[in-house]
A and B are shown apart, each in its own frame.
Chain A
Amino acid sequence: MTQGSLLRQILEYENRHDPYPLYAELRKTPVLNDGDGAYVVSTYHEILSLLHDPRVSSDARNMTRAAGPDLQQQEEETALPPSFIRLDPPEHDRLRRMTNTSFGPPHEPRRVHEMRGELGGIVSDLIAGIGSTDRIDLVEEFSYPFPVTVICRLLGVPREDESRFHGWADTLAASLDPMPGEDATERNKIAQKARTELGMYLAGLIEERRRNPQEDMLSELATLKGPDGSMTTMELLSTAALLLIAGHETTVNLITNGMLTLLRNPDVLRRLREDPGLSVPLVEELLRFEPPVQLVPNRTTLADIEIAGVTIPKGASLWLVVAAGNRDPLRFKDPDRFDPDREDIEHLGFGSGVHSCFGAPLARQEAQIALSELARRLVNPRLLEDPPEYRRNAVLRGPRHLPIACDDIMP
């Protein structure tokens, strides 16, 4: 098999349900150059070191060479300035710090923590809303709406507007997941329209919160005056959109992959039912075993970098295949085994270094609560299709539908 074709195979839709054997093949060349395209890195230690390498930039403006095969992840075409996931320090650090003052530890340990009760409530409502137990699409009925509702509550989107928010999120997510034969320009137009509407909606909400601040995160960010100054409306819009987009599809996939993995490992499911505390190590192992973000594509080198015997030239695009690194046998014992009791589990599922996932504490809680509640409440759940149908997206990989059935739903 030639190397170029290996990469293409990984992107082929027909391999989406199980890319792991291909990743194993890929790891034989820790740093693989796809001709004139991206440098693909697939081994744990190499990925980790590049994620901590200050010669590696996340800023799209530094990208000079070809970016590699199309990941169907077209950059958002908006008038908004880049959000901090696509910025380098110091701009990245400044925006992330400001966002964090309103989000997480050490500044605001409350917010994520106090959401626990609220998350439980949302989960209960969603489970209560499940229709027939003969055929439940877990994605449609549960995983999908959950994180959008959470982000709405976090930002402070009024309840009556939540359904509009869901609509935009759906459209944007669909644009990341093109159907074959679909008209690309038409799809882009629809996505563009959703983005504009979402932006205008948020801009209005920000204005309103500036005048009349509430307890929510948007109000705090809109009125923030700290050592780093304040956020401009444009920065705040970018940031709010980032939180929505970065926290949506990823969390959907984590929960769906989680349920799929549990149904494939009934003994673990049984243990989780009896001991909700197991959800903590279990979610970590999931992030290793089936990471929702399979590869981190947006990196460029600012200098020649020598790694694993290869010199990656300045200006090259990097693909850091964290899902392959997570199964590197040089790092994890018996890597293809799903083992929630694994002790040494520093996975790359949330990335690492300065861009490591901002929403990780929230995502962890969402998945822990969702999976332990599903395990507790669904009586005798079973998969109706295995493997299920996947989305086309190779980066944010996960099932499009997860049809399951159960005998009953516990109160």
Chain B
Amino acid sequence: MPADGHLERLKREGRIVVVGASLAGLRAAETLREEGFAGTLTMVGDEPYEPYDRPPLSKGVLLSRTTADHTALPRRRNLDADWRLGIAATGLDMAAKRVRLADGEEIEYDRLLIATGVRARPWPHEREAELDGVFVLRTRDDATALQKRLADGPRRVFVIGAGFTGSEIASACREREISVTVAERGAAPLVGALGGVVGEVAAQLQRENGVDLRTGVMVTGLEGDSAGRVRSAHLSDGSSVETDVVVVSLGATRNTEWLAGSGLGAGPRGIACDAGCRAFDIRGIVTDDIFVAGDVARSPHPLFGYQFLSLEHWGNAVSQAETAAHNMLCESVDRRPHMWVPAFWSSQFGVNIKSVGVPSMGTEILISQGSLAERRFVGVYGYQDRVIGAVTFDQARWLPFYEHLIETTAPFPPPFPTVDRRPEGARPVPADFPDPSVPTHGPTVTLSGYSPADRRMTFTPGRH
């Protein structure tokens, strides 16, 4: 059978299953239809909701500016899909091309897209995690519950972990004039993602906004009262903090357990795939009918030494989903690589923070525009004499320029003057990232080596 006849049939009457009905799953499904897929489309998602957007959960929702049920993702087109919401996929039979669901049903596929994302890493002590008042923030339900609790006016909120999500939660609390303590094991907030130089700015920002920020400490335990409500948190420096609400913000765990034993190259670090979004099996051989996109994927990036990157970025999920969907429907010569330059944004304490590239690969940083003290600046990250990433605090309009420097592997430090160059921008300084062997809890970009199906992978949860 000629190959294109096969593809024509796939497009006309094939069966595509998408597991994970969130941002990546939805955008992929829309792209499939856009590109002419007329066959059966099944969307499997373990959450009972239609696809919704997560970034507002730690921003507008916590401020009660919107509610979690108003975060549905806008639809680009009518999908005509068979939705299996509230049902988890529990297994994969690669040989028989079947996905097993929690209700016992098995769905056959010609092409499978896995977009099961990540989930919040829970507090490791189970009994403490179950105390009333202890939250994580990943889902709509999490956000609704936390928002309600904040609206009740707790005396204090205690946030464990000052990555992006933890910092945004602290920011929302302060905006609501709720006292908040943030405990961070690193030297400053955001150090895992942006390094110590920028982390110091984030720390000042928190303190000036009235956050009780404790850095260089670990939380050793949570204590409840007789009614099972959380009452206090104990820290490694011997101190403890009275609190009615604890938000555990220790980063994420990839949703890959359901693939255990399937033979797919899936594990705690995600699912390895090639630049065309095709999943690897555990032998390191690329599959031709299983594709991966979004937070759960790790894929090689030519701009960053072909290292496998895991990106917990909204824009990455969209772009990778579109590429995966396109590649699912075409001949290998027509496939496209996923070459998205990582980009991330966050808003906290009234500041708009954006980054491009992979700052965490940087060894040095140059404040090329603006000033750290004014908290309006562009920081450029260098790695092996080239520009590898950039971050802006309230200077996002310059970012496309720096993205271009990253794309063209421009030399570092950039050898030219710019507007708004200050004395501190005269030369680079060490970017001051924590030792990568000490995992921080909340980096949103993780470099995960070169080998697609790394059997020596070890899982190091970010304990506090």
Contacts and interface: CB of A to CB of B under 8 A. Distances in A.
A353 B370 CA distance: 16
Interface-central residue, B368, B378, B398, B420, by most chain A CB under 10 Å: B420
B283 interface: no
Given A90-B420, A302-B419, A54 B369 contact: yes
B370 A90 contact: yes
B417 A53 contact: no
Contact of A354 (B397, B404, B416, B417): B397
A88 B370 CA distance: 11
Interface in B162-179: none
Contacts of B368: 54
A303 interface: yes
A52 B392 CA distance: 14
Nearest to B422: A90
Interface string A350-372: 00011000000000000000000
Contact of A89 (B401, B404, B419): B419
A353 B404 contact: no
B416 A89 contact: no
A286 B421 CA distance: 37
Contacts of B370: 89-90
Interface in A330-361: 353-354
B418 interface: yes
B416 A52 contact: no
B420 A89 contact: yes
B401 A54 contact: yes
Contact of B401 (A53, A57, A88, A93): A53
B400 interface: yes
B400 A54 contact: no
A8 interface: no
B419 A57 contact: yes
A189 interface: no
Interface string A298-338: 00001110000000000000000000000000000000000
A55 B378 CA distance: 14
Contacts of A9: none
B34 to A, nearest CB: 14
A49 interface: yes
Contacts of A88: 419-420
A353 B417 contact: no
A27 B404 CA distance: 22
Contacts of B418: 54-55, 302
B404 A49 contact: yes
Contacts of A354: 397-398
**Interface SS of chain A:** loop
Interface residues of B, number: 16
- Most chain B CB inside 10 Å of its own CB: which residue of A52, A54, A59, A303: A54
B273 to A, nearest CB: 30
Contacts of A93: 376, 420
A55 B420 contact: no
Interface string A54-65: 111101000000
Contacts of B374: 90
A55 to B, nearest CB: 6
Nearest to A106: B350
Which of the four size classes fits the interface of chain A? 10 to 19
A355 to B, nearest CB: 9
A340 B273 CA distance: 43
Contact of B398 (A54, A59, A302): A54
B419 A52 contact: no
B401 to A, nearest CB: 5
B401 A52 contact: yes
Nearest to B415: A303
A93 B378 CA distance: 14
Interface string B390-401: 000000011011
B401 A49 contact: yes
A302 B368 CA distance: 14
Contacts of B419: 54-57, 59, 88-89, 302
Given A89-B369, A89-B370, A93-B376, A52 B398 contact: yes
A90 B416 CA distance: 18
Contacts of A55: 416-419
Contacts of B397: 52, 353-354
A53 B369 CA distance: 12
Contacts of B376: 90, 93
Contacts of A59: 419
B281 to A, nearest CB: 40
Interface string A376-394: 0000000000000000000
B421 to A, nearest CB: 8
Given A54-B369, A89-B369, A89-B370, A302 B416 contact: yes
A54 B404 contact: no
A296 to B, nearest CB: 16
A304 B416 CA distance: 8
Contacts of A90: 370, 374, 376, 420
Given A54-B420, A89-B369, A89-B419, A49 B400 contact: yes
A56 B404 CA distance: 15
B163 to A, nearest CB: 25
Interface string B363-395: 000001110001010100000000000000000
B400 to A, nearest CB: 5
A302 B420 contact: no
Contacts of B401: 49, 52-54
B375 to A, nearest CB: 10
Interface in B418-438: 418-420
21 contacts: A49-B400, A49-B404, A52-B397, A52-B401, A54-B368, A54-B369, A54-B398, A54-B419, A54-B420, A55-B416, A55-B417, A59-B419, A88-B419, A90-B376, A93-B420, A302-B418, A302-B419, A303-B417, A353-B397, A353-B398, A354-B397
Given A53-B401, A88-B419, 12 more contacts: A49-B401, A52-B401, A54-B368, A54-B398, A55-B417, A55-B419, A59-B419, A88-B420, A89-B369, A90-B376, A302-B419, A353-B398
Q: Lowest 8 CB-CB distances: which A-B pairs, in order? A: A54-B418, A303-B416, A89-B420, A88-B419, A52-B400, A52-B401, A302-B417, A54-B419
